[in-house]
Amino acid sequence: MKELTCISPIDGAVIARRRSALPEVAIAKARAMREAQKAWAARPLDERIALVRKAVSLIGEQTERMTQELALQMGRPVRYGGEFRGLNERANYMCDIAADSLKPLVIEDSAMALRQITREPLGVVLVIAPWNYPYMTAINTIAPALVAGNVVLLKHAEQTLMVGEHLAEAFHQAGIPVDVFDNIFLDHSGSAELISGRHVNFVNFTGSVRGGASIEHAAAGTFINVATELGGKDPAYIRSDANLSAAVDGAMDGAMFNAGQCCCGIERIYVHERLYDAFVEKAVAWVNALRLGNPLDPETTIGPMANIRFARTVREHIAEAIAQGAIAHIPTMAADDGGTYVTPQILTNVTHAMKVMREETFGPVVGIMKVKNDEEAIALMNDSNFGLTASIWTSDSDAAKSIGARLETGTVFQNRCDYLDPALCWTGCKDTGRGAGLSVLGYMALTRPKSYYLKKKV
């Protein structure tokens, strides 16, 4: 039996050890949940909604626990207060729109016939959640899946083992049965066995491209629906008419928050030549003002990366870029230990021949390139294997809409970035994966259509 271990990025201490469930135990759990699903789906929608809202409220009463445990597990500074705001916004929005989203589509209801399309829950939903935003990414699927009448099995990342436990405690305390929602400790092979054996009906996976490919491989031939969100290399374009100060503040926060460990964080910036020099100067000052340090210190604004292997990737990308001619603008900070504590970095004189501008770095580094016009910016923004979000900084909304229509991405932002609006569909293209999270489309993904043609008179 494999042991799962969470090593704190703060000091390398082991803070959690959990035994991975044996495959037969995981399969038995999924079977029990399948049996419980019909009774759960038969409960009134308002009752399911109320229970989900109560669970979310209980987590809101424990934000100090959330904040402290996130700092210990993955290094986010306590000054940012955890993830309850986003979790609450997403879960409650999906509860708010549930009745309208799930109501039948009535084509005809006459004396002659009833013709309608209803939405049926899929059954057992497996959520394989990531460590970087472990509460918010999980709730994206957990809340609407339960509301829609599915049962949910949560398998959390090894780096954030305690998050799955916390969510399960709150949902059970709220009155949601263990066979309706539960957390399981499982290794990759155990997850694959659940999927390939058709013991679940839907899989939501957030993680690496390689991980997503393994999930799809496990599901091949099973006809199980798989939704994947596999990260990005999200660009920002600073047009010549942008508000410079707002663009610097927004884009740099999007690049550096959470030590750059955001799927929709900004990893490459294209600046119109008219603003380029001023943007770089202000961006360097912005990053130099960050305080790298222990995330348990309220004065820390950027903490360590979650794991030493993630930090190695960042350092490798930076070193390769510099060797190929890139210019690094941020001196090594005092807290940089060569390990998980990584100096946030700005690189210029970069090209798309460099990994730092093409591969997902997923850390506190951003490359900045000068462009002459919209056409050049669009070509560079689309020159990527990923397509999650893209941001355009401009005072011209018509231009933003026009440029956005030509971008290969899941979400287009104007004058903001790195945000998930629960009213909009969270989706991507290319190696970012496929699927539709949140919004009314989130309910469509977690249910199947069922048609009725009831002829009343013969």
Over the chain, what is the mean pLDDT?
A: 98
pLDDT digits (tens, 9 = 90+) for 367-398: 999 999 999 999 999 999 999 999 999 999 99
- The confidence score (pLDDT) of residue 458 equals 86
Which tokens go with 280?
């770089």
CA neighbours closer than 13 Å in the CB half-sphere of residue 37: 23
**Distances in Å between the alpha carbon of 236 and those of 321, 363, 377, 393?**
20, 16, 9, 7
Provide the residue count of the chain.
458
Which spans in 82-200 are helix H? 84-96, 98-102, 134-147, 161-174, 188-196
What's the whole-model pTM score? 0.97
Report the catalytic residues.
Answer: 229, 263
* 290-337 residue pLDDT tens: 999 999 999 999 999 999 999 999 999 999 999 999 999 999 999 999
- Statement: residue 231 has pLDDT above 90: no
- The single residue listed with the structure tokens 């405690």 is 169
What average pLDDT does this structure show over 187-194? 95
> Can you tell me the distance from the alpha carbon of 190 to that of 155, in angstroms, rounded to the nearest whole number?
10
Can you give the residue ranges of every domain in the chain?
A: 3-230+433-455, 234-422
Percent of the chain with pLDDT over 70: 100
pLDDT at 148: 99
User: 54-86: per-residue pLDDT in tens?
Assistant: 999 999 999 999 999 999 999 999 999 999 999
Which architecture, in CATH terms, is 3-230+433-455? 3-Layer(aba) Sandwich (3.40)
Q: What are the DSSP calls for 192-256, one per residue?
A: HHHHHTT--SEEEEES-HHHHHHHHHHHTTTT-EEEEE----EEEEE-TTS-HHHHHHHHHHHHH
* Cβ neighbours of residue 99 closer than 8 Å, sequence gap 6 or more: 45
The answer on pLDDT for 406 being more than 80 is: yes
- Per DSSP, which regions of 233-375 are E strands? 234-238, 266-272, 327-328, 345-348, 365-371
Confidence check: pLDDT of 52 > 80? yes
How does pLDDT run across 327-343, given as a tens digit for each residue? Answer: 999 999 999 999 999 99
Q: What is the pLDDT of residues 111-156, one digit of tens each?
A: 999 999 999 999 999 999 999 999 999 999 999 999 999 999 999 9
pLDDT at 130: 98
Q: Would you list the DSSP string of 395-450?
A: S-HHHHHHHHHTS-SSEEEES--S---TTS-B--EETT----BSHHHHHHHTEEEE
Among 3.40.309.10, 3.40.1160.10, 2.60.40.10, 3.60.20.30, name the CATH number for the domain at 234-422.
Answer: 3.40.309.10
Q: What is the model's pLDDT at position 5?
A: 97
